Structure 1
Amino acid sequence: MPSYFITGAARNIGYGFLRQISADPNNTVIVLVRDKPATDTRISAELSDRKNISVIQGDLTDIQSLKTAVEETSKITGGSLDVLIASAAYTGDYARFDGLGDLDIERLGADMHQHFESNVMGNINLFNLFVPLIRNGNLKKVVAISTGLSDLDLIRKLRIANAAPYSITKAALNMVVAKFHAQYADEGILFMAICPGSVATGNFDNLTPEQETKAGVMFQKFIKYAPHFTGPAPIEDAVKDVLQVVDKATIETNGGILVSHFGNKQFL
C-alpha cells in the first residue's frame, strides 16, 4: 500500500491531489492542513466512503506542528513514507499584478519575508523532518509543486515582471530541491520540482478592472508562448497530468530539476 503525505490539501490543487490519490483504496493518504475541522467536514461531505485518509493539523511555518505530523504519520504507516507532495504555498495578493519597481519598499519587504518563510524555509524544514520516513519507504519520492514563473528562461523571454515574491521564492524552492537531490540521490531518494501549469483555482476571480487589464496582458504573453493555450486548466486535469509525470519520474531523469506537467520545459 503506497503512502502519500500532502501539504496544502484543504483546497485547490492540494485537495485535488487528495481526491485523486485517495480514489485508490490501496493508497494511504495523509494530509497536512491548517484547519483540520473544516477539512474533516469537507471530506465527510464529499469523500465519506474513503477510509484511507488521515488529516493532521499543521502549518509549514510551525516547526513543532511539522514534528508532530512526522510522529503521527509514522504511527499510521509504521515508520515509512513513499511519496511526499509539497503543495502548500503562500501566494500573497500584494504583488500579483505589479513589477518590483512599482511596489512600496517597506510593504514589499514584509511580503517577501512572508513568502520566504512559507515557500522556502517551510519546505526545507518539511523535507528535513520527513527524510527519515522517506528513506524507509519503497517509492522514495519528494515532489515540490513549483511554477513556470520560477523558470529564468521563461521570465526572460516573456518578460513577466509581476508576481515577483511568489516567483522568486519558488525559484529558491527549486534550488532547495536541487540541494536535497545532491545530498540524497545516492540513497535512492528522488527530489523533484514540477509546475502544474495554469490551473483554475479562482485566483483570477473578483479582480478590479485594473487587475483584469494586467492579467489580460499576462495571458496574451502566455498565448504567444503557447498558441494552443485557452485558459487555466481544471484542477482535476492538472492533478492527473502531474501525477502521471511523478509516477514515471526517476532520479536519473528528474532528480533535482523543475519540469512541467508535460514532463519537460514546456510550461503551458
Structure 2
Amino acid sequence: MPVYCITGSNRGIGLEFVRQLAQNPDNTLLVGVRSLSSDLNDLEAVTSKNPSAHILELDVSSEDSIKAFVKFAEDILQAKNKKIDYLLNSAGVNIASTHNSLNLVSENVHAQIAINVLGPAQLTASLLKAGLLSNDVRVLNMTSGLGSAQLSIDNKSNQCAGYSISKAGLNMLSIHQAHDLRAHLPGVVVGLMDPGWVKTRLGGSEALVEPKHSVEGMLSILHGLKDEDNGSFFHYDGKRVPW
C-alpha cells in the first residue's frame, strides 16, 4: 500500500499522474495543488473514487505553503502509520517561451527558478526533516530535454532560455540530492525525467505526446528504479538522456 506525493496536480502531467495512480485503491495519494481556490473539477473527479486521495494546497514557490503542506501530510501519514514511498516533483512553469539569452527578463527567470528548482529542493528537504520519507523512497524530479546542455547544442535551441536555465539547475540539484539524501536514507533513488513534448497547457498546441502515454512510461521507469540508477536522467520511453 504505497504512498505517493505529487505536486502540480490540478492540470497537465501532474493531473495525469493522479488519474493513473488513483485507479488503484491501495495507493495513498498526497495531491498538491497551488491553490485550493483554483478550478479543481477535473482533479476532484479523478480522486473521487479513491478514499485515500487527499487534495492539499501546496505552492512550491512559498516556504510558508510548503511548511503548511508538510504539517498536513504529517497528520495524514501518522494516522496511517505510513511514510512517502514516491515523491513526484512535477510542478513547473515555462514563462516567456519565446525569450532567448539576449532578452531575458530577470523577474521571469527568478520565478522559474523559484518554482522549478527551489520548490523541489525545499519540499524534499522539508519532508526529510519531518521524517516523512521512507528509507527507500523514489524521488522523481520532472525536468526536460531543454535542460540538457548536449541536446541544446545538438538541436541549436535558442528559445525558452529561462526555462532551460531553470531545468539545467534542477538537473544539478538532483545530482546533489542523489548524494546528500543517501546520508539519511540509504535506499533512496533520485531520478530525473524528461516527459517528452507533452500535449498540455505548458507544452502547447504543437506538442507530440499524449499525457497518458508519457505518464505510463514514466511510472514504468519510476517503479523499476534500481540502486544504481540514483542520479540518472531518463526520457519517458526509458532511454538515457545526455547531460
Give me the TM-score of the superposition, normalised by structure 2.
0.89
**Comparing 188-197 with 131-140, which one deviates more in the overlay?**
131-140
| Matching residue of 1:89 | 92
Q: Which runs of 5+ in 2 are unaligned?
A: none
Determine which structure has more spread, i.e. the larger CA radius of gyration: 1
SS in 2 for 1:16: helix
| Matching residue of 1:201 | 200
Does structure 1 retain, via aligned residues, the 8 Å contact 2:112–2:162?
A: yes
Q: 1:98 to 1:112 in 2, by over 3 A?
A: closer
Residue 164 of structure 1 aligns with an amino acid whose one-letter code is A
| Matching residue of 1:51 | 51
Q: Which has the higher strand share?
A: 2
Residue 182 of structure 2 aligns with an amino acid whose one-letter code is A
Out of 203, 220, 223, the position equivalent to 1:244 is 220
**Separation of aligned partners in 1, 2:204 and 2:43:** 26
How much identity, in percent, do the aligned residues show?
A: 25
Residue 118 in structure 1 maps to residue 94 in structure 2:
no
Q: RMSD of aligned C-alpha atoms? A: 2.1
**Separation of aligned partners in 1, 2:45 and 2:133:** 34
Matches within 5 A, 1:31-46: 31-38=31-38, 40-46=40-46
Q: Which runs of 5+ in 1 are unaligned?
A: 206-214, 216-230
SS in 1 for 2:51: coil
**Separation of aligned partners in 2, 1:259 and 1:45:** 31
Q: 1:19 to 1:49 in 2, by over 3 A?
A: same
Out of 173, 176, 181, the position equivalent to 1:176 is 173
Residue 73 of structure 1 aligns with an amino acid whose one-letter code is A
Does structure 2 retain, via aligned residues, the 8 Å contact 1:185–1:251?
A: no
Q: Which has the higher helix share?
A: 1
How far 1:153 moved relative to its partner?
A: 1.1
Give me the TM-score of the superposition, normalised by structure 1.
0.81
| Matching residue of 2:22 | 22
Residue 265 of structure 1 aligns with an amino acid whose one-letter code is R
How far 1:97 moved relative to its partner?
A: 2.7
Q: 1:117 to 1:248 in 2, by over 3 A?
A: same
**Separation of aligned partners in 2, 1:24 and 1:133:** 27
Out of 156, 160, 180, the position equivalent to 2:157 is 160
How far 1:41 moved relative to its partner?
A: 3.5
Q: 1:190 to 1:39 in 2, by over 3 A?
A: farther
